[in-house]
Amino acid sequence: MRNTLVKVGLSTAAAVLLMSSSAYAQPATATASLNVTVNIAAKARLTLGAASITFADQDPTAFPTLTAPTPLTVDVSARTAPAATVTLTVLASQDLTSGSNTIPVSTLAWTASGAGFAAGASSTGTAQSVGSWAGSGLRSGTQTYSLPNSWTYAVGTYTTTLNYTLTAP
């Protein structure tokens, strides 16, 4: 009986050895799937390079136009549908005002650089276009403000606030 057990054991070992040889190797394959979902919602971000602009006082004859010392950088980021129009507008809160004296804000104009940015002039009644673009993306440009320097202005420090609105539908 003991011999029988030994023989069986040897035969089993031989079988296992045979199975581990390449002659018995068989391909092994398994697959699994993972469903991926990405949500992208509409978003907009507007960044101005400065919080204020100051025009230095100048002789009207020597400098008939006051120009802002540095261009205002404008960075527009928007995420929207491919065909949607992204718009950037600006609206003045009031005319340039110093006490009871005013300078029409419509004389506060700007030139622009950068794709999609446009030149224009300020208004207190209607938001004025600063730029427009199609679809998602990041856009950068500059606005350089200027103001006629007239002998007729009363002395004073005139201020207004320009409100920018970026819309990405």
Partner 1 sequence: MSADFQVPSRVAIPLLVAAALFALANSAPAQTRTATLNVTINGFARLTLSSSGVSFPDSSPDLVPQVPGTPGPLAITVKARTTATANLRLSVLASDDLRSGVRTILASNITWTASGLGFVAGTLNRTTAQSVGSWVGSGVRSGSQSLLFRNLWTHPTGTYTLTMTYTLSSP
| Residues found near partner 1 in the complex (CB under 8 A) | 1-4, 7-8, 11-12, 15-16, 19-22, 24-43, 45, 77-82, 135-138
- By C-beta, is 9 or 64 nearer to partner 1? 9
Neighbours of 140 (CB within 10 A): 16
C-beta of residue 75 within 8 angstroms of C-beta of residue 47: yes
CB of 88 to partner 1, least distance (A): 15
- By C-beta, is 77 or 167 nearer to partner 1? 77
CB of 14 to partner 1, least distance (A): 8
Sequence-ordered list of residues with C-beta below 8 angstroms from that of 62, at least 6 positions apart, any chain: none
- By C-beta, is 29 or 100 nearer to partner 1? 29
User: Which pair of tokens denotes residue 87?
Assistant: 């718009």
CB of 78 to partner 1, least distance (A): 7
User: Which pair of tokens denotes residue 133?
Assistant: 């673009």
CB of 12 to partner 1, least distance (A): 5
First to last CA, the chain: 88
- By C-beta, is 82 or 99 nearer to partner 1? 82
Computed on alpha carbons and rounded to an integer, the radius of gyration of the chain in Å comes to 36
